[in-house]
Structure 1
Amino acid sequence: MTSFVKIRWIARSFSTISSSPLRICVVGSGPAGFYTAEKLLKAHERIEVDIIDRLPTPFGLVRSGVAPDHPETKVVINQFSRVAQNERCSFFGNVSLGSSVTLPELRDLYNAVVLAYGAESDRSLGIPKEELAGIYAAREFVWWYNGHPDCRSLSPDLKSSDTAVILGQGNVALDVARILLRPTEELARTDIASHALAALEESSIRKVFLVGRRGPVQAACTAKELREILGIKDLGVYIKEADLVTTPTDEIEMKNSRIRRRVHELLSKAVTRGSAPVASQRELHFLFFRKPDRFLESDDRSGHVGGIRLEKTALSAFKDVGDNDIVKQVAVGTGVYEDISCGLALKSIGYKSVAVDGLPFNNYKGIVPNAGGRVLADASHDHLKYETGLYVCGWLKRGPTGIIGTNLHCAEETLSCISDDINRGVLASASTKPGREGLRQVLNSRNTRVVPFDGWGKIDCEERRRGGLKNKPREKLTTWEELLEVACG
């Protein structure tokens, strides 16, 4: 029996149920997924929500993306846990969209499907020698030190060089720099993965360069993140004096943005002036007005990065007519180059979502074409055609921007579309969709080891137990085998 025939048979077997609830599946258990589930459950009493995730652990980037020395940011896990424990909500961990169950199958099983699986790939620079060893996406490095099972074996070489270059100056770039530069005795009291802590304890990295295409006024980080890294004990901060000089256009930008003004003020005050670097001191170098031209291969280690060539840039101002005529500045190359030696390079230039079979996808923007959360089947100028019962939320909807709280408004917007479709009778009759029981049958037929929310509870308890032995909040399980063994044991 084919999968589609089987699912239609399952659907028919549930079709006689009276007063059936609308059944909605949310794919992805990060902030976007949980906020969507929470709002659906609060807004509609006759809705059941199932959340599926390819990992055995829920919470997405709250677990694998938030830096280990930011425990206060992870408190939102308590709110999400209450959602998962709602009697009308079920969590299905270790369920991969595409292999465990396909998107067309989910659409046949549920009245509506909300895709909120985020961005699990990376943008490429597209420059020569990008394939050299020792070059990583910041996402990979973050997953490595946060114990994500996909990056357990990353093993970045932190011993062979004293210099790391990070391309990008956003909050993720600052997180990575802070982990490389922060004293390990402080990190040892966090939930950082043990394999990462051990590597950092033996690290030779003493200099970190944060490279940005534009100037300090345009730096993409927030003042809070910047203040934290600048506060690292015994850290020398170096910026070229000329880079801190502002232009009239910069002044306009700072006048229009308190955050940009504050970032520039913090950088100006933090510069280590008048003395040469101390040999034992760790150094943070902000390089502005530079863009990567090519990576350089090491003379000593074939196939490994040995440096990077940067092109100096200048800013060109223009008015963005579509944005209230606000003046913006873009970096353009000047044809002047400089090289920096390094043994580790990290690309913090943005995450990227990936497409799945049966899903419209804009490869250039890395998002699913949508209008307010409704997936567009046809986005021609004269007519909008929607994929009935298919929605998006989070990074898959808007691109990899914003903080955890940004997903709250994003979920509200998607909920509004779903509620409108429910009220207009657009979604299929509840009695014709089997929902979670049908999903269980499909997953059982494929021998999928599903991890329910109480399976995550077992992982949580074991991690806390192991952490207590080391005076840490938790000792993360970092391999698929361990996670599944504990969750299903």
Structure 2
Amino acid sequence: MTSSRPLRVAIIGAGPAGTYAADILSKTDIETSIDIIERLPAPFGLVRYGVAPDHPRIKQIIVALANVLGRGDIRLLANVNIGTDLTLKDLGEHYDAVIFATGSFRDADLNIPGIDLDGSFGAADFVSWYDGHPDVPRTWPLTAKEVAIFGVGNVALDVARMLSKHPKDLLPTDVPANVLEVLEGSPVTDVHLFGRRGPAQVKFSPLELRELAQVPDVDVIVYPEDYDYDEGSLAAIDGHHQTKQVVKTLNDWTLREPTGASRRIHLHFLQAPHEVLGQDGKVTGVRVERTALNGDGTASGTGVFIDYPVQAVYRAVGYYGTPIEGIPFDDSKGTIANEGGRVVDGGDVVPGYYTTGWIKRGPVGLIGSTKSDAAETIQHLVDDSERLFAESKAGPEQLSPDNVFQLLKSRGVPVVEWKDWEVLDAHEKDTGEVQGRERVKVVPREEMTDIALRRD
């Protein structure tokens, strides 16, 4: 590459996907100038706002991300919204390439009767609430004694654990004060998880499943009649170490006796959601259909239905990406339309636009798997670099990194840079230390920016 200037790249989203992409790009042979533009006043995306507060082990990923963002060669521009604070036109005038790493935060739909009743919620919204996301309400209607969760993945486990765990056992974590206050008043006694297939088809990770049995004063209840293993199940157990571990744990639990704990988590398999029952517009129960395995690990309905009395329902059936106006979107997948990370429109590559992470491939894989995903996208960007220089619409003046900052300042946008985030980070940790906790999250957006920018 013989260009006399760095390649200017904007990465939209400061979660793991965007941060890994920035790190990988910064280590290529191309000289780059990289800005990570984040909508929220804090970085780290789903690691800060999508991981249950009682999982500090997973939150240690923040340390690795902070090491990248704090190096000084990658600039963070947080509290900046694409579409209002900066338009796509602005991005085209100030950058040679844009990588969208905006993730998937919305709940996928579950199209069954009654799913819109009062008392029916999306798991992603609940996760955002208990993680202190600044864009969700400060309260949550925890009034149900009995709760149903549709889904058998790690998010379903997180929701079940957070609903059933006694608040005092969350005190050492970074759970926000307003969340603790609401949890204190929860009358919940029983949480039911439903999976439409058998134990060999659940999506729990072995560690998260085992942790469920360690929650104080919470019994995990399983039902032997829900256990079935067809040829497909046996092949999955033999061929996947994690599946084997999960099945062993679930089988071991059939031999355990309840301890008489005050709260219970019930795991139901081979039961597919059929309808949310209600009265006067409110959830009063769920109806599930008993299923049977087909031999290949799939399941079909049997026509036998079971009703469970519950007063709240959470759907944890996956995440779905949010479209960005002006960027081609694949509604069937909930992702930005792309081929290997290059954004496409009707099969044609859109010059200068790339994507990575869940908004690229859908909400599959663990956080660490975003590294290989980002590497693929960055390789395509590097391969395209000569064309990016040649076809760039960025003007000479706009290419100055300071120009974008001044543009945002002129529009009254309170930009939070890395040094400002460090102020907010220290404040949360200091507040937590006084209370004997890891940190106390600041939740309101305006308070976050006031602290970060040292505004009285």
What TM-score do the two structures reach when normalised by structure 2?
0.93
Residue 336 of structure 2 aligns with which residue? 368
Match of 2:373 among 410, 431, 434: 410
Residue 166 of structure 2 aligns with which residue? 183
State whether structure 2 residue 314 is matched by structure 1 residue 297: no
Residue 429 of structure 2 aligns with which residue? 464
Task: Tell me the secondary structure at the aligned position of residue 11 of structure 2.
Answer: strand
Residue 74 of structure 1 aligns with which residue? 59
Structure 1, 445-454 or 423-432: larger mean CA deviation: 423-432
1:427-468: per-residue Cα shift (whole Å, max 9, x none)? 546874525334224323422221111221121111111111
State whether structure 2 residue 34 is matched by structure 1 residue 57: no
1:83-134: per-residue Cα shift (whole Å, max 9, x none)? 2233332111111111111223312321110000101212111222222222
**May I ask how many residue pairs the two structures share in their alignment?**
450
Q: Are the counterparts in 1 of residues 212 and 220 from structure 2 also a CA contact under 8 Å?
A: no
Residue 323 of structure 1 aligns with which residue? none
**AA partner of residue 93 (structure 1):** A
Q: CA deviation at 1:154?
A: 4.0
**AA partner of residue 113 (structure 2):** P
Q: Are the counterparts in 2 of residues 165 and 342 from structure 1 also a CA contact under 8 Å?
A: yes
1:338-397: per-residue Cα shift (whole Å, max 9, x none)? 111112211111111011121111001111121211111232xxxxx2111110000011
State whether structure 2 residue 434 is matched by structure 1 residue 434: no
Match of 1:477 among 398, 421, 442: 442
Q: Are the counterparts in 2 of residues 146 and 192 from structure 1 also a CA contact under 8 Å?
A: yes
What CA distance in whole angstroms lies between the structure 2 residues aligned with 1:47 and 1:37? 10
Structure 1, 165-174 or 244-253: larger mean CA deviation: 244-253
State whether structure 2 residue 319 is matched by structure 1 residue 351: yes
Residue 309 of structure 1 aligns with which residue? 287
Match of 1:166 among 149, 164, 188: 149
State whether structure 2 residue 414 is matched by structure 1 residue 449: yes
Alignment of 1:73-472 (within 5 A): 73-157=58-142, 160-271=143-254, 273=256, 278=260, 280-298=261-279, 302-317=280-295, 328-379=296-347, 385-422=348-385, 428=391, 432=396, 434=399, 436-472=401-437
Instruction: Please tell me the root mean square deviation across aligned C-alpha atoms, in Å.
Output: 2.0
Task: Tell me the secondary structure at the aligned position of residue 147 of structure 1.
Answer: coil
What CA distance in whole angstroms lies between the structure 1 residues aligned with 2:343 and 2:265? 44
Q: 1:154 to 1:200 in 2, by over 3 A?
A: closer
What CA distance in whole angstroms lies between the structure 2 residues aligned with 1:215 and 1:48? 50
Q: CA deviation at 1:419?
A: 1.2
Residue 11 of structure 1 aligns with which residue? none
What CA distance in whole angstroms lies between the structure 2 residues aligned with 1:427 and 1:219? 49
**AA partner of residue 330 (structure 2):** N
What CA distance in whole angstroms lies between the structure 2 residues aligned with 1:162 and 1:425? 58
Q: Are the counterparts in 1 of residues 96 and 388 from structure 2 also a CA contact under 8 Å?
A: no
Structure 1, 139-148 or 247-256: larger mean CA deviation: 247-256
Aligned-residue identity in percent: 37
What CA distance in whole angstroms lies between the structure 1 residues aligned with 2:200 and 2:47? 29
Q: 1:295 to 1:245 in 2, by over 3 A?
A: closer
What TM-score do the two structures reach when normalised by structure 1?
0.87
State whether structure 2 residue 24 is matched by structure 1 residue 39: yes
Q: 1:339 to 1:68 in 2, by over 3 A?
A: same
